Structure 1
Amino acid sequence: MQEYGIGVISCAPQQIASYCDKNVFAPLVAETPEKLIADQDNDTIRLVVIDQPSNPAWDNDFYSDVKNHFSPQGIPIVIMVDEDISLQSKIDTIEAGFSDIIQIGDSIDSISTRFVSEIYHQVADSELKLNIQQAQSAAMSAMKESSNLGQNIQFLLKIQGCDDLSQLGLVFFQTIEEYGLHCSLQLRSEFGTHNMTNNGMQRTLESELLDKLKDHGRYYDFGQRTVVNYGSISLLIRNMPEDEILYGLVKDNTFTLLQGLDAKVHALDEHIQLENEKQALEQLSCSVAEVMKDIEGEFQGVMLKIVDVVENMAENIESNIPLLLLNEEQEKFVLNTVGGCVQKSNQVFSEGLHIDKHFEGLISGIEETLQNAKKISQVKDIEREEHKLQAVAGSDIELF
């Protein structure tokens, strides 16, 4: 198993085992950030953990010192605490520039997962940030000149070809990266919630924050960050521009994109619901057809048994009439009565055959309906794929 090098700033090294799995991580422990940097070997630290309970006396200057040593290198910083984490604590953590805040009482597997997640984010974000300043400058200039109407139209064309929330999020981030913005996105469908960032993965703390702030108004600003809410969509922008004009342009353009996302999420929900209802109806129709076939077979069997019983009874009576010592009139009456019963039972059997034909017609109609439904579904799938290809082709047109 791969071991990740992490730096732990702690005054109680013996407590590290309670939250750091040494099968996954190779911790380097120091009491100060300066000593941690001096002790590391060839820049092996991928994550810095601050063990807050080991020294409650650490003040804001200490945390600023830690950030000044490691944030410029892109190394994520996680704070470990021994108390319940409130919504305000999460907001303060993100606003202060730290990557995550974790309670020591959580399971070691959960803590390890969040540590590894931050390391993966650091690797992915390093690749995304290579040319971010140049891309941001170009994108902001484009927004200032035309409000980036063409980019928004292309986005609305592209999302028509999306079949699920993952595809929808990827198309959104392809568009938002043109502005050089770093974001976390939350899509809330009737069938589940999907969280993701520019690199395709989710940030646990930011996802929790979006879930808490989804009902806190259209915009929620804190520091250089802004949360935008619209319908089933919430977006956290981590690097809002300081310029007021650009700040307003970012809000206007991202809001337009969120409107398109919300409409598409509802469309996907309706599509899934219709598909589920169609499948349920097809299953019900198949079940009805099978039951009708069973009823048809049983009905024929019952009719045959009735005819057999009546004919056997008639034969027994006719063969035993001489033993009854009846006169001619009585014998004639009995024979006429038995003959009438046989004749009426044959009539009932004929009527049953007529009803059986109705059963056959009903079963054939159900089967034909199911076949037509399948054909229509196949045609719809083909049309949807053609529409998707047209949307992708149309999105490549230079509008401005």
Structure 2
Amino acid sequence: MTTRYKAVVLSKTSDEQLGDLLDEKYHLLQADSPVQTLQLAQEHDLKLILIDGNSIADDDVIGICRELKDNSELPVVVLGHEETLQHKLDAYDAGCDDYLSPSMMFELKARIDRVLFNKIANDQLKMQLKQANEMAFIAMSDTSDLGVNIQFLLDVNRCNNIDELGMRLFQALQSYGINCSLQMRSRYGVKNMEANGMAKDMESVLMSECKDKGRYVDFGRRSIMNYGGVSLLVKNMPVDDEKKYGAIKDNVFSLLQGCDARIQALDNLQSLALESQLVKRLSGQMSSMMSAVDVSYQGVMRDIADVVENMADGVEQSLQFLGMDERQESALQNIMETGIVETNRVFNEGIRVDEGLKVFLQKIDRVFADDHVDPQEVQALLDMMPKNS
């Protein structure tokens, strides 16, 4: 039997269509005020709060969302009608976990499911993470921010993929006591991450939309920091502590620079790997083509030699019927013999050229046979090729 999760819909009107859409997985309760919503949260094992922005004014939605998040840890999803980035930023700053505008309503169930699963995962990890964070804080309490950054920059060069890079960054950020979402953009895709490994849709969208808005995008207690292919959304900036606020921005930014440099390095390594595969396949393709050309070429040359020899035999047999004197016959025989000799010479020369190409292709195969190419062998190949004039 499918588990049905309890959720409350805060709305000034009753939306039967919403109930029908979510009825399979959610048991929806109705509330018309934040007070009633919080009361239902105390009386029932609620997993989610939905705010119907279509029946509530925009300014009221933001205030309601902030009031609910100040008094409850339940995730809040706003079903709004505003499409603007600023309204989404305001809603997120008020504590909204996701915001679905009219153009996104087709994915309502999937988005709500992801918010719910993030809540469940976070609850399960909460006790373990609390203990781990306490131990990490004790271990790193005597370590300066500079030391943490230097260690990260040393470790980052050993990261072999984007996922490992993101987790190392989150480990470094633990010393700053900040809660973050991360987005890394490489030439081969975009990776959104949370400290627990699960990305949240709304935060991913906000970072994508703010990545070209400057190095810092500040709103409320949140800040989005951008550098190159990296964006970091800090959810709990210490806005009341100016010194700590500035230190976090300055020190964390250097971590983003190191992260971006490693993303570029990983992109280059992947590009080199693809280029190496291309060269290997081209070499194999050329070898196959040359084998076919070789067979065809030698067959043509043999046929030409046979034709010339047959012509010589025919001419020699016909000399006695042509009424030519001995001197004329000798001259014609010399011409035919010279033609046979030259044909054989051209044939043999063609074979030598073909063998040279075979040797060159064999050397290419040997050079790229291993994953790690020997630079000296590559240089030797280059020396065999004519330089561009």
TM-score, with length taken from structure 2? 0.83
Q: Any residues of structure 2 matched to 1:215-226 within 5 Å, and which?
A: 215-226=212-223
Alignment of 1:218-367 (within 5 A): 218-241=215-238, 242-324=240-322, 326=324, 328=326, 330-352=328-350, 356-367=351-362
Are 1:135 and 1:179, in contact at CA under 8 Å, matched by a contact in 2? no
Q: Which residue of 2 aligns with 1:123?
A: 120
Alpha-carbon distance in structure 1 between the residues aligned to 2:44 and 2:268: 51
> What is the aligned partner in structure 2 of residue 6 from structure 1?
7
Q: Which structure exhibits the higher relative contact order, with contacts defined as CA atoms closer than 8 Å and separated by 6 or more residues?
A: 1
- What's the offset of the Cα at 1:117? 1.2
Q: What does residue 56 of structure 1 align with?
A: 56
Superposition deviation, residue 63 in structure 1: 6.0
Give the distance between the partners of 1:347 and 1:63, measured in 2 at CA: 91
Q: Distance in 2 between matches of 1:375 and 1:137?
A: 45
- Cα deviation code 1:16-56 (max 9, x no counterpart): 158x4433433333334554566679743211111121x23
Check whether the contact 1:6–1:47 (CA below 8 A) recurs between aligned residues. yes
Structure 1 residue runs without a partner (length 5+):
381-400
User: Is 248-257 or 325-334 further displaced after alignment?
Assistant: 325-334
Q: Does the 8 Å CA contact 1:139/1:179 hold for their aligned counterparts?
A: no
Give the direction of change, closer, same or farther, for the CA distance of 1:25–1:313 in structure 2 (3 Å limit): farther
How many angstroms apart in 1 are the aligned matches of 2:322 and 2:248? 108
Deviation of the 1:182 alpha carbon: 1.1
Q: Could you tell me which amino acid in structure 2 is paired with residue 367 of structure 1?
A: Q
**Cα distance in structure 1, aligned partners of 2:99 and 2:23:** 20
Aligned to 1:386: none
Contact (CA 8 Å) 2:65, 2:91: kept in 1 or not?
no
Q: What is the match of residue 76 of structure 1?
A: 75
Q: Tell me the amino acid that sits aligned with residue 280 of structure 2.
A: E
Check 1:332–1:137 CA distance in 2 against 1; reply closer, same or farther (3 A cut): closer
In the superposition, the TM-score normalised over structure 1's length comes to 0.80
Contact preservation (8 Å) 1:173, 1:198 = yes
Provide the C-alpha distance between the structure 2 equivalents of 1:379 and 1:315, rounded to a whole number of angstroms.
56
Counterpart in the other structure of 1:27: 28
- Name the stretch that deviates more: 254-263 or 315-324: 315-324
Assess if the C-alpha contact under 8 Å between 2:62 and 2:90 holds in 1: no
Q: Distance in 2 between matches of 1:126 and 1:115?
A: 17
2-structure distance, mates of 1:196, 1:229: 15
1:305 CA drift (Å): 0.6
Give the Å deviation of 1:194: 1.6
State yes or no: 1:47 paired with 2:48: yes
What is the identity percentage for the equivalent residue pairs of Structure 1 and Structure 2? Answer: 34
SS at match of 1:374: coil
Note the alpha carbon deviations across 1:248-277, whole angstroms, 9 max, x for none. 332233122112111111111221222222
Tell me how far apart the structure 1 counterparts of residues 237 and 198 of structure 2 sit (CA, whole Å): 21
SS in structure 2 at match of 1:47: strand
CA contact (8 A) 2:166 2:193 kept: yes
Contact 2:222/2:237, CA 8 A, preserved across alignment = yes
1:117-157 CA-partner distances (Å, limit 9, x unpaired): 111221233345446599479849967x6532332222223
Q: CA deviation at 1:349?
A: 2.8
Distance 1:336 1:59, change over 3 A: closer
Q: Name the structure 2 match of 1:374.
A: 369
- Report the counterpart of residue 181 of structure 2 in structure 1: 184
Question: Using the alignment, how far apart are the partners of 1:58 and 1:373 within structure 2?
Answer: 63
CA offsets 1:263-319 (integer angstroms, 9 cap, x no match)? 111111221222222222222232333333333222211110111111122223333
Are the structure 2 counterparts of residues 218 and 334 from structure 1 closer, same or farther at C-alpha, using a change threshold of 3 Å?
Answer: closer
Taking only aligned residues, the RMSD between alpha carbons, in angstroms, comes to 3.2
- What is the letter of the counterpart of residue 9 of structure 2? V
Give the residue type in structure 2 aligned to 1:78: V
Distance 2:86 2:112 in 1: 22
Cα 1:164–1:105 shift into 2, 3 Å? same
Query: What code does the residue aligned with 2:56 have?
Result: P
Alpha-carbon distance in structure 2 between the residues aligned to 1:212 and 1:126: 29
Q: 1:76 to 1:379 in 2, by over 3 A?
A: farther
- 8 Å Cα contact 1:135-1:178 kept in structure 2: no
Q: Structure 1 pair 306/373, CA: closer, same or farther in 2 (3 Å)? A: same
Q: The residue matched to 1:46 in structure 2 has which SS? A: strand
Looking at structure 2, the residues matched to 23 and 172 of structure 1 have their Cα atoms a distance apart, in angstroms, of 40
SS in structure 1 at match of 2:23: coil
